[in-house]
A = this chain, B = another copy of it.
Amino acid sequence: MENDNTIRRLKTIEGHLRGIIGMLEQDAYCIDVIRQIQAVDAALNKVSTKILENHLNSCVITAIKGNNVKERERVLKEITEVFEMSNKV
Chain A residues packing against B (C-beta within 8 Å)? 3, 6-7, 10-11, 13-14, 17-18, 20-21, 24-25, 27, 30-31, 33-35, 37-38, 40-42, 44-49, 51-57, 59-61, 64-65, 72, 76, 78-80, 82-89
Complex Cα distance A18/B13, Å? 10
Residues of B within 8 A of A34 (CB): 48, 51-52, 55, 82
Residue from B11, B27, B88 in contact with A21 in the complex, judged by beta carbons closer than 8 Å? B11
Residues of B within 8 A of A40 (CB): 44
Give how many copies assemble into the complex.
4
A31 touches B48 (CB 8 A): no
B25 touches A21 (CB 8 A): no
